[in-house]
Amino acid sequence: MPIAYQDLFRKAGPVLASHRGWDAGTVALARDLARDLAGTGPGEGIASPRIATVTRLLVDLNRSAHNPRVFSEWTRPLSRAERRLLLERYHTPHWRAVADDVTELVSRGRRVIHLAAHSFTPMVNGRTRRVDLALLYDPTRSEERSLCAAWVGGLRRRLPGLRVGRNQPYRGASDGLTTWLRRQHGDRRYLGIEIEVNQVLLEAGGRLPREVTEALAGAAMEALDAHRRMPA
């Protein structure tokens, strides 16, 4: 929480520390995957992770700027000018950085597979969620659908004790950064895959067990290898 906005959240301490304020475990997951997937094939490259630097209760960096839920109940009452400033300071630079990474690679004729890391609470509204690990994608895009089918298959073989799903507990085509980027680039040039991890899996210190991150990377490399052989 930037110092300039801390007064807005004086009574929001418990909420800031909850899943509403941040996705536990995802920074470590993104960095571990970037390391494990680096150099997965000839001519392949892994961009440095783009990490959200402010709580989503200030401004949600994974919602589009026109989405009413880009602001929380603490920032929605701000004036239009103050909300615009939040977008200019935090939201726009994040989206521009990711978009520039993608556009630069696509302009060189590369196929981009954009991975986003998220986590979710094991229960919501008193109901237990029935998935431990999932991949979100747009099922109308054949490239994303085939890649995720192979990736999920590999994860189920490697992690038979976990419930691995697709487009759970959220829909992969909902409003967000990957959905916006899909509209900028064709199906065969850009694939936006969001990884969702149940926070019940996190160990002390907020990291996933090493066998889970290794399985994610190993199954991804298997699926990517098959996908790489497909014509761009």
The sheet carrying 112-120 orders its strands as 112-120, 190-198, 133-136, 164-166
pLDDT in tens, 67-109: 999 999 999 999 999 999 999 999 999 999 999 999 999 999 9
Domain boundaries, the chain: 3-228
Q: If you write DSSP's letter for every residue of 110-130 in order, what string do you get?
A: PPEEEEEEEEE-SEETTEE-S
- CATH 3.40.630.40 for domain 3-228, yes or no, is yes
Under 8 Å between Cβ of 138 and 193: no
Under 8 Å between Cβ of 170 and 196: yes
What is the reported pTM? 0.93
Under 8 Å between Cβ of 133 and 212: yes
Residue 43 confidence (pLDDT): 46
All residues at 6 or more sequence positions from 55 whose CB lies less than 8 Å from its CB, including other chains: 1, 16, 21, 22
Taking the chain, what is the end-to-end CA distance rounded to the nearest angstrom? 42
The H or E element containing residue 134 is: strand 133-136
Residue 225 confidence (pLDDT): 86
One digit per residue, pLDDT tens: the chain, 232 residues? 999 999 999 999 999 999 999 999 999 999 999 988 886 554 456 667 999 989 999 999 999 999 999 999 999 999 999 999 999 999 999 999 999 999 999 999 988 999 999 999 999 888 999 999 999 999 999 999 999 999 999 999 999 999 999 999 999 999 999 999 999 999 989 999 999 999 999 998 889 999 999 999 999 999 988 777 765 5
Q: Helical H runs in 11-116?
A: 13-16, 26-37, 80-86, 92-107
